[in-house]
Amino acid sequence: MISQIVSAVGVVIAGVFVCALYYWLSDKALQLAFPVPEDNVRAASVNLNRRAVVRPWLFLGPALILLVVYLVYPVIATFILSFYDRSGGNFVGLANYRWAIQDGQFRQSIFNNILWLAVVPAACTFFGLVIAVLTDRIWWGNIAKSLIFMPMAISFVGASVIWKFIYEYRGGNGAQIGLLNAIVEAFGGQPQVWISLPFWNNFFLMIILIWIQTGFAMVILSAALRGIPEETIEAAVIDGANGWQIFWKIMVPQIWGTIAVVWTTITILVLKVFDIVLTMTNGQWNTMVLANLMFDWMFRGGGDSGRSAVIALVIMAAVTPIMIWNIRQANKEMGGH
Amino acid sequence: MTAIASLRRVGLPRLVVHVSVLLICIVWLIPTLGILVTSFRDAGQITASGWWTAFTGAAETSAARLGEPSTARQEGANYVISGSVFEGGQGGTVRAFGTRVAAPTEFPAGQTADIGNGETLTINEDGSYIYSKNAPFEGRGKRVYLSVATPPSFTTDNYRTVLTSQGIGQSFVNSLTVAIPATIIPILIAAFAAYALSWMEFPGRALIIAMVVGLIVVPLQMSLIPLLRMYNEIGNFFGVPSRSYAGIWLAHSAFGMPLAIYLLRNYIAGLPREIIESARVDGASDFEIFVKIILPLSFPALASFSIFQFLWTWNDLLVAMVFLGTGKDQLVLTGALNALLGSMGGKWEILTASAFITIVVPIIVFFALQRYLVRGLLAGSVKGG
């Protein structure tokens, strides 16, 4: 154990050191390659210009290499692999796509993903907005916000254990130690094995993600609510609007942009949901989603890169509109600078 | 009087707000509280009763057998068997007892119950019983059912067990080995890139920025298959293991890179132009400007991103499953917890203690550095985690 800690610390320092060394050495090399002689102004300015041309690429180099190797190239490669067979060696045309359309599990995953998309972003945004409005009105609101925000720090796997314990079912005569079944029993209901209850089990998994993400929505929306100019609300009060009208007609329209950002952010997260399904059910009892199916096919029977790639591409296609919208927004912002 | 007075001052709608926020907080906290309490409970008690009874003591239903007919004494016309139901060694307080499995709490402790057939039975709170019959006993010792209250018992044994024999301690170290370099390396790389993208003029700059923004939302799933193949090929070619810490650091660094560059560029581009230009006039090189001016000034943005990246790498399961092995020396906490869910399902003393160890570091980071986390979220809420 001690030796692992020592070697871990050693590796940590070495890894970071190598990185820092690159920037330092590359800068030194640049200065050596293009010296700036003090007695020759012409040569000096030429070399200074050369440095200015090369230096951005030295600074950007490692980042660009990482981006290209780990993100740009794989996106292209995955697209190409989707037309090849399981080993990636033989071209099979659209066979993998045809398989996907006819595969029951794939359809199930699409259906479940749509279910997740319909419920989770809406629920998180709604609860986040309600909690943001409520906590802004009380003196201990910040403490309450911290507590509701906290699950954001918890891993999906940890959250799954936490909620699996809540959904725990005990057969026989013993006491129910899962909170949900204990409550159901206290009200005279029949305890259930919640996570294998077809169709509804999806919602029990969604609750976990809602529990984690509501805090995120709350934080962002709370900041947006505070940015609403005081005068608009005062004007509405003078005109005799009640609290409900002020909320829906004055406040919500002013934060539509933020609501859209929160909604799309959670949408992207939902499309990639993996850990929760893996640890709670591993896709059994009709809870399979695309990310899990994709992972499954990556290793199932030695792995099928073609089918796996098709499933990944479906997720990619779903985020593409958001991606384009983001790029447009960013370009617009930079145009304004 | 005072309560009513303060109620009037607070006003009813205001009170409704307080109560509903309190309720929401309780609902949000209870799941985590459940595993925290359970992780400190005795394994036997966890299965006997819900964790919410942990502080009041558990009421456990158990069965016991009374003494054999041969131990009966004759007292007048009656035959009496006496003794204690706790002879097996377990202690506790009997709350109620019964003679049928369908009604294990039919009679309260201390009551003399007429159980038919000319038999009466009394079981006291301390477990002693008197069982008498107006005729000789026959057959085997009678089976009775008890509701036994055991005093609350808390223990740190669960933590000791998981840290040592379940390998969670080792996984904790592995998680740190993954998360710390995977947090620091991308910050360094992204900060240099962000500086170049904000304060240096070169062709293709706008294109690179657009690419970075686009890559923020590219799902991890798109990268996994080609990278897995690439790692295996590199491993085969050089004869090194394809799953290594170096491999996962680079993977995490790259996956966090778009958001890092985006956040840092937004911040660094907003720094005052005069500072950077006056430093240039003073003859400082870009490298010096970056190290001496940009890095210290960008501390808030660097802190925001490092918290994101640390939470993300510490909590990640998918990348670790693909790029790290499942051996003892490489299994991270999330992976270990996932494996325990499979092998120890139902052993909640193991699962809850392991889960709590997994979540305690991010929770400490969260509460200590929440300010920076919120700031980062507000700046970069285009990425989906």
Q: Do the bridges between strand B128-133 and strand B119-123 make them parallel or antiparallel, or are there none, so unpaired?
A: antiparallel
pTM: 0.84
The CA R_g of chain B, rounded to the nearest whole Å, is 33
Q: Do A324 and A194 fall into the same domain? A: yes
DSSP label at residue A273: -
Q: What residues in A contact B22, CB-CB < 8 Å?
A: 144
Same-domain pairing of A163 and A257:
yes
pLDDT digits (tens, 9 = 90+) for B255-271: 999 999 998 988 888 88
Count of domains for chain B: 3
Note whether A267 and A310 are within 8 A (CB).
Answer: no
Averaged pLDDT for residues B60-89: 77
Two tokens, residue B344: 């120890």
**Cβ A19–B185 below 8 Å, yes or no?**
yes
Q: How far apart are CA B224 and CA A70, in angstroms?
A: 9
pLDDT above 70 covers a percentage of chain B that reads 93
Residues A17 and A76 in one domain: yes
- Tell whether B243 and B351 lie within a shared domain: yes
Q: Rounded distance, CA A130 to CA A126, Å?
A: 6
Indicate the residue of A74, A168, A323 with minimum beta-carbon distance to B214: A323
Q: What tokens were used for A95?
A: 């066979």
In this structure, the answer to whether residues A115 and A238 fall within a common structural domain is yes
Both A75 and A149 in a single domain?
no
Does the residue B384 lie in any domain?
no
Q: Both A9 and A157 in a single domain?
A: no
Question: pLDDT band for position B108 (50/70/90)?
Answer: confident
Give yes or no: residues B266 and B372 share one domain. Answer: yes
Q: Is residue A175 part of a domain?
A: yes
Boundary-marking domain end, from A54, A81, A108: A81
What is the number of domains present in chain A? 2
Number of A to B CB contacts under 8 A, please give it: 348
Are the Cβ atoms of B229 and A305 closer than 8 angstroms?
Answer: yes
- Tell whether B36 and B92 lie within a shared domain: no
Mean pLDDT of chain B: 83
Question: Both ends of chain B: CA-CA distance in Å?
Answer: 52
CB-based contact A66 B253, cutoff 8 Å: yes
Same domain, B8 and B145: no
Q: Domain of A225?
A: 98-336
Instruction: Say if the Cβ atoms of B223 and A78 lie within 8 Å.
Output: yes
Residues of B with Cβ-Cβ distance to A163 under 8 angstroms: 31
Instruction: Identify the pLDDT of residue B88.
Output: 58
The CA angle A88-A89-A91, to the nearest 5 degrees, is: 90
Shared domain check, B20 and B139: no
CA distances from A1 to A143, A149, B241 (A): 39, 35, 22
Nearest to A97 by CA among A77, A79, A113: A79
Q: For tokens 């259906």, what's the residue? A: A111
**Boundary-marking domain end, from A48, A81, A114:** A81
B341 to chain A, any CB pair closer than 8 A? The answer is yes
Does A86 reside within a domain?
no
Range in A60-69, B15-24, B109-118, B187-196 with the lowest mean pLDDT: B109-118
Range of the domain at B25: 2-54
Give the 3-state DSSP-derived string for A106-173, with helices as H, strands as E and coil as C.
HHHHHHHHHHHHHHHHHHHHHHHHHHHHHHCCCCCHHHHHHHHHHHHHCCHHHHHHHHHHHCCCCCCC
Together in a domain, B129 and B234: no
CA-nearest of A322, A264, A318 to A294 is: A318
Q: Of A81, A110, A125, at which residue does a domain stop? A: A81
CB under 8 A, 24+ apart: contacts of A6-9? A8/B173, A8/B174, A8/B176, A8/B177
Same domain, B133 and B185: no
Half-sphere exposure of A98 (CA within 13 A, CB side): 7
Kindly determine whether residue B181 and residue A4, on different chains, have CB atoms separated by under 8 Å: no
Which residues, other chains included, contact B364 with Cβ-Cβ below 8 Å and sequence gap of 6+?
A: none
B8: pLDDT strictly greater than 60? no
How close A205 comes to chain B (CA, Å)?
A: 14
B 190-209 residues inside an 8 A Cβ radius of A: 190, 192-193, 195-197, 200, 202, 205-206, 208-209
Q: Which of A216, A168, A62, A325 is nearest to B185 (CA)?
A: A62
In chain B, what residues touch A291 (CB-CB under 8 Å)?
219, 221, 318
| Inter-chain touch B363–A266, beta carbons under 8 Å | no
How far is it between the farthest Cα atoms of chain A?
Answer: 95
How far apart are alpha carbons B282 and B288 in whole angstroms? Answer: 11
- Residue percentage of chain B with pLDDT more than 90: 16
pLDDT of residue B58: 61
Residue B315 lies in a domain: yes
Secondary structure letter of residue B51 according to DSSP: G
The verdict on residue B385 lying in a domain is no
Q: Alpha-carbon distance A320 to B296, whole Å?
A: 36
- Are B103 and B29 in contact by the 8 Å Cβ rule? The answer is no
B145 in a domain, yes or no?
A: yes
- One domain for residues A174 and A258: yes
B16 and B79 inside one domain: no
Specify if B127 maps to a domain: yes
Q: Residue A218: its pLDDT value, please? A: 92
Best CA proximity match to A125, nearest among A203, A226, A218: A218
Residue A40 lies in a domain: yes
Mean pLDDT of the region B44-48: 78
Partners of B370 on chain A (C-beta within 8 Å) are 146, 149
Rounded Cα gap, residues B301 and A23, in angstroms: 20
Per-residue pLDDT tens digits of chain A, which is 337 residues long: 677 677 767 877 887 788 788 888 888 888 888 887 777 888 888 888 888 888 888 889 899 999 999 999 999 999 999 999 888 788 888 888 999 989 889 999 999 999 999 999 999 999 999 999 888 888 888 899 999 999 999 999 999 999 999 998 887 767 788 888 888 888 888 888 888 888 888 999 999 999 999 999 999 898 888 888 888 888 888 888 877 788 888 888 888 888 988 998 899 999 988 999 999 988 888 899 999 999 999 887 778 888 999 999 999 999 999 899 888 888 887 764 4
| CA distance linking residue A325 with residue B98, whole number of Å | 70
* CB pair distance less than 8 Å for B184 and A16: yes
Buried b (16+ CB within 10 A) or exposed e, B260-289: bbbbbbbbbbebeeeebeebeeeebbbbeb
Q: Which of B22, B318, B352 sits opposite A165 (nearest CB)?
A: B352
On whether any CB of chain A is under 8 Å from the CB of B215, the answer is yes
- Cα-Cα end-to-end distance for chain A: 54
Yes or no, beta carbons of B29 and A77 under 8 Å apart: no
Q: Where do the DSSP E strands lie in A180-262?
A: none
Contact residues on chain B for A84, CB-CB shorter than 8 A:
none
Identify the CATH number of the domain in which residue B345 sits.
1.10.3720.10
Q: Which of residues 319-338 of B touch A (CB under 8 A)?
A: 321-322, 329, 333-334, 337-338
For an interface test with B, which of A12, A296, A337 has the most B Cβ atoms less than 10 Å from its Cβ?
A: A12
Most confidently modeled of A307-316, B173-182, B234-243?
A307-316
* A121, A308 Cβ separation under 8 angstroms: no
Q: Are residues B177 and A12, on separate chains, in Cβ contact within 8 Å?
A: yes
Estimate to the nearest angstrom the gap between the alpha carbon of A125 and the chain centroid. 15
d(CA A162, CA B344): 15
Are A265 and B385 inside 8 Å of each other by CB?
yes
In the DSSP assignment, the letter for residue B3 is H
Helix (H) or strand (E) holding B256: helix B245-269
Smallest Cβ–Cβ distance between A179 and the set B50, B222, B227 belongs to B50
Tell me the chain B residues in contact with residue A45 when contact means C-beta distances shorter than 8 Å.
Answer: none
Q: At what angle do helices B168-199 and B205-216 cross, to 10 degrees?
A: 150
* Same domain, residue pair B82 and B65: yes
Model pLDDT, residue B91: 66
Final residue of a domain: which of B39, B54, B69? Answer: B54
Chain A residues with CB under 8 Å of B35 CB are 161-162, 165
- Residue A264 and residue A232 share a domain: yes
Indicate the residue of B17, B25, B177 with minimum beta-carbon distance to A148: B25
The whole-number average pLDDT for the span B63-81 is: 80
Cβ pair B177:A268 closer than 8 A: no
Q: Are residues B329 and B180 in the same domain?
A: yes
Q: Classify residue A93: in a domain, yes or no.
A: no
> Does residue A73 fall inside a structural domain?
yes
pLDDT in tens, B202-237: 888 889 999 999 998 899 889 999 998 899 888 888
